[in-house]
Chain A
Amino acid sequence: MDGQGFLLVCVAVPLLGSFILPLVGRVSVRLRNILALLFVLTSFMAAIRLLPQAFSGGNPVMAKLVLPAGFTLGFMGDSLAVFMALVSSFVGALIVFYSFGYIEHYENQNEYYMMVVLFLGAMMGLVFSTNLVLLYLFWEISAICCWRLIGFFREKQIILRADKAFLVTVGGAVLMLLGFISIYAQTGTFDLTAMKGADISNLAVILILFGILSKSATLPFHTWLPDAGVAPSPVTSLLHAAVLVKIGVYVFARLFLVNFNLADIWNVAVPVIAGISALVAAGAALVENDLKRIIAYSTVSQLGFIFLGLSCGSPIGIAGGLLYIFMHGLAKGGLFLCAGIVEHATHTKDIRKLGGLFSAMPVTAIAFLFCGFSVMGFPPFGGFFAKYMVIGGAVDAGQPWIALTFALGAILTIIYLMRAFIKVFLGSVSFPGAKEGSWEMVFSVGILGLLSLLAGIFINIPAELVDSIVSVLTGITIGG
């Protein structure tokens, strides 16, 4: 199979495969689970196969269908897209594996697996899309999946939360679509490759930012994300680590870094928004008592760091932002999955009621700590490099005061994550009968914790990928 084939497999297998899962589920639960994992792994393997060509520096793999009136439907596997696909499909596969243990006692499993795989398929479609309409289409598929998955438990309160998530993100997306239309008006095409390098109006940027910031849960469009913590833990993990919120930052990178020339004002405006978001969310995380809400606010706060890196305009900052997407995906995925194990064992998420779980679930506790250290940015964990490069990038872009603000946010990160850790895992024992999760669950968190560490020790590997993306983005090779 050639590059184009892998590209189509990467997108089509989970996207189409998801629909047969409910049918298979009626015959065999086991087969359905294995197929679900297989579909996601297929994407992952295909993305790996795309890796060499994407990072060779030559022309990216393209699969394109030209339609009349300037419409083209196409997929392109450039380095940025392949990088995102790798991160999402890898973390996604681990989450699906974790679900085997987590979800087996609940109803609607068929729908669950279908939605999860469809969700990941939509993510694959979105990252490879070269067409704004196609991109919007996948964007909204993900919103629908997200809506069904957040409302998985079907209680009235939970469904309201799901509706909220859906309405906020779709509301933003509709404004973004208006922005796309205004770009179309300006350039006469929806094809990203055709309009590369265009200057776009600030109105379009604002409209698109509505979509991006609502999807990536940034102030003031963020409150749906903590509320979405009512979803099953693998779903929240998926939303935070692998797909949903990463869609926003990816589209930001795709449109505003790769494709268009942005007015300078946005190199300050976006970091300021991100900074406020990072601080406010970090503060809220320190007040909350619900474990999943704490981690959710942490995501909002960390997304601020990613936006800062991507938007500040210096190469090292962009590299830091991309690295952050990777490190945060591993670590935050792990944190939520750990929270899921805790919730599974104790049936509560209130950290005031939890405590002393370390001896009952040592692997989960250590995985939580490892992932937490990565988010806090302590070496030798991977988050360190991302955090340094984002903060150093802001300084390099001539914004030391914004960098200082983010350093304050990083202090709050240490405080609220340690607070969550000690209240849940240390102190007096709250649930003497609590047990470690099933082996699939423990395995998944263990892997994510370990990878958070290894990604830092072997930083040269992810750094190599990120570096080659940045050198394509900025068109210059720094140093040499």
Chain B
Amino acid sequence: MNGLGFNTFIYLVIIPALAGIVILFLPKKERLIKSLLVFAATLFNLITAIRLFGLEETWHTKWGGLSNFGIDFALRTDRLSMFILLAVGAMAFLVAFYSFAFLRDKDYGKGFYFYYLITIAFVNGAVLANNLVLMLFFWEGLLVTLFGMLLLKGRHKYPTAVKALTLVGVSDLALMLGVGVTGFAAGTLMMDKITAIPVEGIAVLGFVMMMLGAIGKAGSMPFHSWIPDAADDAPLPFMAILPGALEKLLGIYLLVRICLPGTGLYEFLPHTPVSTVVMAIGALTIIFAVAMALIQKDFKRLLSYHAISQVGYMVLGIGTALPIGIVGGLFHMVNNAIYKSCLFLSAGAVERQTGTTDLKKISGLGAFMPVTMICFLVAALSISGFPPFNGFFSKELVFDAAMESGIIFYIAALLGAFMTAASFLKLGHAAFFGKPQLPEDKKVKEAPAAMLVPMIILAAACILFGVWNSLPLGQLIQPVLGDAMAGHNYAGWPHTPLLVIISIIVLILAIANHFFGVKRTGKGLGAVDHIHYAPGLHFIYNRAEERWFDPYEILMVISKFFAWIAYGIDRAIDWIYNGFFVWVANSVSKGLKEFNTGKQSQYVIWAVSGLLIVIFVFAVLVK
């Protein structure tokens, strides 16, 4: 309950949000002021996150009448949240810097900055929240900014925006139910008071729903399919910051919050059915998303499938519930944020300089954009898992954990690694090497320095976090697990040489596959055509491209089907009023007409018997 601590906590939410609101009210042409505001706000955010690092505090105040229902405005920092906040701050600052140049000639800059800052405020709030409902408030609030950002490039982009809103909305509603059940099972909504709820009885529902919320935000299957569409329809910095970085950080943050051994919300143990289910989701996400990435012919779209498949590694690692897997998952999360953003930013540089990201229209860009190419290559080698880049080390940790939990998961992860490497060999070859080809003879030159600097920093971080992996592992990640590490230290060279050898064989196979494909088709873009058009696979790929397996389409079909049944019930009920009752009324009145005989004696009998009935009814009711 340190006043200073709170002031600093809450600024992480208030300052970006206020800056965003100010931008909303600035005139459109004040570009410099807006850029300066964004710069100042994100820099402040980063510095605050650094300053707060290591602080472990809780703070709470009443939230009006909500407090009486256990819903307080409560915040806390611990090793997990400080680590995430630091990553959020760094990514947000770098992408903001990049955006200044990227958005210079775009007319949606103002809207972008507004949503961007609000997003950062909400992400910070969700990570800081110590009350589950407060977390849900910030977490689900991101839906609105997501929707707004997807409409920035024009209102005709609404199908993607609605798709994203629906899919993420479903996962957020799952989280809402999960929060309710968790609060009920634990007897409190304060996260620091909830530890290790046994996953049994009603808590199973709570665990599953919380987890769906977490992986849905991270973009895992089955909540993923809006991301490739967004690659086409959203401004590029959006892809770099949200699906590329912040959504992963937030989703994995919650997943770890739920699963962390000892201090997590739920008691999540290795070799249990729930652990297997989580790992299976991770493995399936890796395989299916990377298989789709393999055949893409657009720079951004290809990357967007990797934004999905990489979550699979994190979910698989954390799903093992082993310390090595959780460390691997968290390390992979950081690494992914770095190299995936770097990749998206290099795609943005290509898009800005050439006007397209369609790989059929561009090739051999390396000669014109050497810096972009180098940054791309470093990030691509990282994501493909080449040593000594950062992705290699985190992937090896996940492999280790998967191997220990079941060989099937290990094989899935390896298969994913093969396809990841193959798809990036194809992408890099097609875009940067080969015969130079440019759309409409445009003069292409290197991207402006403001865009290159963030890319260079990220690429450098890929190398730094690989070569000196004891820095992130020792300082940021392993402390999160605390006692659960049981004295282990996973920094340095991977501890299982056999797995490293297998990984390197897989990488060599991927390279061999690439040369085979290039030789077969004569161009880099055709490097995996022999897989794409293989018998059987071709059929499945076509169906996938037609969106047969898109969870959104499936949800729509189910909803429509249900809706028609509901509508049938509704119409049937309506018929009772419009048809049946009318018929009854007509029949009765027709029948009663017969009694209008004109004989007074009969009328007296009716009147008296009617009176008797009334008296009888009252006698029964009014005993």
Contact = CB atoms under 8 A, between A and B. Distances in A.
A287 B158 contact: no
A467 to B, nearest CB: 3
Interface residues of A, number: 75
A179 to B, nearest CB: 9
B281 to A, nearest CB: 20
A418 interface: yes
Interface stretch (B235-243, B412-420, B558-566): B558-566
A463 B176 contact: no
Contacts of B165: 414, 418
B104 to A, nearest CB: 26
B66 A460 contact: yes
Interface string B565-588: 111011001101110000000000
Interface string B99-119: 000000000000000000000
Interface in B532-573: 556, 559-560, 562-567, 569-570, 573
Contacts, number: 181
A290 B373 CA distance: 54
A460 B65 CA distance: 6
A224 B570 CA distance: 11
Contact of A182 (B63, B68, B556, B622): B622
A395 B68 contact: no
12 contacts: A182-B621, A182-B622, A219-B573, A280-B569, A280-B570, A284-B566, A287-B563, A400-B202, A411-B169, A415-B166, A463-B65, A480-B68
B499 interface: no
B184 A395 contact: yes
Given A288-B567, A414-B169, 14 more contacts: A168-B577, A181-B621, A181-B622, A227-B574, A281-B570, A379-B141, A380-B144, A385-B66, A391-B180, A400-B205, A404-B205, A427-B158, A477-B68, A480-B68
A454 interface: no
B177 A407 contact: yes
A412 B169 CA distance: 11
B563 A395 contact: no
Given A286-B563, A391-B180, A411 B64 contact: no
Interface stretch (B83-91, B132-140, B462-470): B132-140
Contact of A185 (B170, B184, B622): B622
B158 A415 contact: no
A395 B65 contact: no
B155 interface: yes
Contacts of B621: 178, 181-182, 185
A385 B179 CA distance: 13
A109 to B, nearest CB: 31
A384 B140 contact: yes
Give the secondary structure class of B's interface.
Answer: helix
Contacts of A377: 173, 176
A467 B62 CA distance: 13
Nearest to A356: B155
Contacts of A227: 574
A164 B578 CA distance: 8
Given A378-B143, A459-B64, A464-B64, A411 B573 contact: no
Interface string A227-264: 10000000000000000000000000000000000000
Interface in A82-129: none
B219 interface: no
A428 to B, nearest CB: 9
B623 interface: yes
A479 B67 contact: yes
A396 to B, nearest CB: 5
Nearest to B63: A460
A388 B180 contact: yes
Interface in B179-201: 179-181, 183-184
B65 A465 contact: yes
Interface in A431-480: 459-468, 470-471, 477-480
Nearest to A219: B573
A223 B572 CA distance: 10
Range of interface residues on chain B? Answer: 35 or more
A263 B449 CA distance: 73
Contact of A395 (B70, B173, B180, B567): B180
Given A373-B144, A414-B166, A283 B566 contact: yes
A286 B136 contact: no
Nearest to A470: B68
A410 B143 CA distance: 15
Contacts of A387: 176
Please name the 6 residue pairs, one residue from A and one from B, whose CB atoms are nearest each other, closest first: A460-B64, A283-B566, A467-B65, A463-B65, A392-B180, A286-B563
B162 A379 contact: no
B25 interface: no
Interface string A402-427: 01100100111011001000100011
B68 A467 contact: yes
Nearest to A411: B170
A5 interface: no
Nearest to A453: B144
B584 to A, nearest CB: 12
Given A388-B133, A400-B205, A283 B69 contact: no
Contacts of B180: 388, 391-392, 394-396, 403
Nearest to A390: B180
A222 B66 CA distance: 33
A377 to B, nearest CB: 8
A315 interface: yes
Given A280-B566, A461-B64, A384 B137 contact: yes
Contacts of B136: 379, 388
Contacts of B559: 286, 411-412, 415
Given A388-B136, A426-B158, A378 B144 contact: yes
A316 interface: yes
Contact of B69 (A315, A418, A460): A315
A288 B563 CA distance: 10
